[in-house]
Amino acid sequence: MDRINVLDVIKSDWQALSVQYTYGRNAYALFSKNSIDEFSFRAKIQQEYDDVTIRKVDIFDEEFRKENFYYNDRTLGQLLLNSLKTPRNKALKYNNLTGKLLYTDPEWILRDKDSGKPFMLYALEIHLSPGMYLTLNVKTFREKKSDYGVWRREYIFDPMTKHLRRRLKNDDDSQQIFVEASFKDKRNTVDYLDISSIQRFKKCKLGILQTLLTEIKSELGEYISFEPEYKENTYSFELPPKQQGSWNNKGLVSLIKRPICIIDEVNSELSTLMADQIKSQLLTYYNINVIGTTWDERAYHIRLINDEEYYSERNIPDPHRIVPNNMIVQHMIVTNELETRKKAESPEITKVIQELLIKEDVITKQVRIFDWSSLAFDTTWKFVNRTKIRDSENSDKKSHILNALVAKPHNTVI
């Protein structure tokens, strides 16, 4: 194994209440007051991790929080949530997986009928999204059989606590290892609402949310609270038949004016398999041939890379942030095979094509994926997105710039 992540060591060896990633190579660890000697902690960590800088921060410093904890102290809020402990005598368990908080249930663990060993489990990741909204998203873990040469975070059931946690370098190699990935294209879900019985309600998302909010109020009520919010302007609508064609395969293909190249920067057995699947999907469902594996200014590019943490832990440039000028690129993370259904296209490929078309519109400064003239608006609209840029004096700190696109009346050019 590679050198283990320093946050895993802080969590396991120093009994941090929680840890939380932020941006770049920055992270926070939360300890009980006076639970560790600051000097000994810093000396011991830097003895093994000489490239790590440690400092104590004052969370009551408003200027520091504004600069480092994002809008409404979201990072601090997630750090507090990650400190939730497993309730005693309850089936549901919290697992702090180095910066991520998962909510699990024994029913969500699938076991082999003969050996009784688990081969797959799923959980709800408890996450504070931008805007300070509490979200619960399903995550799946399966037993590691073959890694196909691709890097993945590894997890084990702790022999002492029986909780899922990150695998450490001193863990017994004979232990069963899990990775975050789907199992044979199985897509796990947790019902949003189930009122067939009290027991089933407690295991649906709203029931788990109720339990979670109770635990937050009990354990963290002095520091953080959540309020329900009703969105009056939320509505749904159905696209008119004339516009629906833009969203099916035929409509998407009609907008594709360039060839497609697949750039594989992982070069593993799994990435090769994934590239072959993409080629097959494009040809079968979109009648598109992949023309090459190198950069071409005339083409769209699907780029296969590892996830951000892979590059961060090795202190190497993340290709996700490095895109050749004027190239139309959509990245795909190589973590698992494509999600597919029998005799149907992969939703991932449909999404990739949509993203490529949108990025082409941004580069060419025109919108072809929607007929703006059909709106007959008579005012000028500005569409603004925020782009992160690195501070020239501090490579780990990022600022933001605003990019504005202007839509003029009765004109699709922006």
Confidence check: pLDDT of 332 > 90:
yes
pLDDT (0 to 100) of residue 385:
64
Span of 136-145, 283-292, 343-352 with lowest mean pLDDT:
343-352
Two structure tokens written together for 81: 């949530």
Span of 42-56, 239-253, 349-363 with lowest mean pLDDT:
239-253
DSSP secondary structure, 134-201, as one string = EEEEEEEEEE-S--TT-----EEE-TTT--EEE--TTS-TTS--EEE--BTTB-----S---SSHHHH
Span of 14-18, 134-138, 398-402 with lowest mean pLDDT:
398-402
Confidence check: pLDDT of 18 > 80:
yes
Confidence check: pLDDT of 83 > 80:
yes
Span of 68-72, 117-121, 215-219 with lowest mean pLDDT:
68-72
pTM of the model: 0.61
Report pLDDT digits (tens) over 236-294.
Answer: 656 566 555 555 666 777 788 899 999 999 998 889 989 999 999 999 888 888 999 99
CA distances for 150 relative to 128, 274, 275, 345, angstroms: 29, 12, 14, 24
SS3 for 86-146 is: CCCCCCCEEEECCCCEEEECHHHEEECCCCCCEEEEEEEEEEEECCCEEEEEEEEEEECCC
Residues 164 and 121 sit within 8 Å (Cβ to Cβ): yes
Q: 3-class DSSP state for residue 406?
A: strand
Q: Which of 332, 337, 342, 347 is nearest to 183 (CA)?
A: 337
The whole-angstrom separation of Cα 295 and Cα 224 is 49
The whole-angstrom separation of Cα 155 and Cα 16 is 18
Average pLDDT over all residues of the chain: 79
Confidence check: pLDDT of 392 > 80:
no
DSSP state letter for 412: -
pLDDT (0 to 100) of residue 373:
66
pLDDT (0 to 100) of residue 285:
87
Residues 164 and 199 sit within 8 Å (Cβ to Cβ): no
Confidence check: pLDDT of 100 > 60:
yes
Name residue 386's amino acid. R
Q: How many C-beta atoms lie closer than 10 Å to residue 165's C-beta?
A: 18
Confidence check: pLDDT of 135 > 60:
yes
Q: Give the pLDDT band of residue 411 (cuts 50, 70, 90).
A: very low
Span of 116-120, 149-153, 219-223 with lowest mean pLDDT:
149-153
Confidence check: pLDDT of 310 > 50:
yes
pLDDT (0 to 100) of residue 171:
76
DSSP secondary structure, 319-377, as one string = GGG---TT-EEEEEE-SSPPP-BTTB--HHHHHHHHHHHHHHHHHHTB--SS-GGGG--
The whole-angstrom separation of Cα 56 and Cα 225 is 25
- What percent of the chain has a predicted confidence (pLDDT) above 90? 20
The whole-angstrom separation of Cα 108 and Cα 125 is 13
Q: Give exposure, 149-164, as e/b (b: 16+ Cβ within 10 Å).
A: ebbbbbbbbbeeeebb
pLDDT (0 to 100) of residue 197:
93
Q: How many C-beta atoms lie closer than 10 Å to residue 147's C-beta?
A: 15
> 254 phi and psi, to 5 degrees?
-65, -20
The whole-angstrom separation of Cα 339 and Cα 316 is 29
DSSP state letter for 298: T
> 5 phi and psi, to 5 degrees?
-60, 135
The whole-angstrom separation of Cα 111 and Cα 117 is 5
Confidence check: pLDDT of 398 > 80:
no
* Radius of gyration in angstroms for the set of CA atoms belonging to the chain, rounded to a whole number: 24
pLDDT (0 to 100) of residue 241:
60
SS3 for 24-77 is: CCCEEEECCCCCCCHHHHHHHHHHHCCCCCCCCCCCCCHHHHHHHCCHHHHHHH
Confidence check: pLDDT of 410 > 50:
no
Q: 3-class DSSP state for residue 233?
A: coil
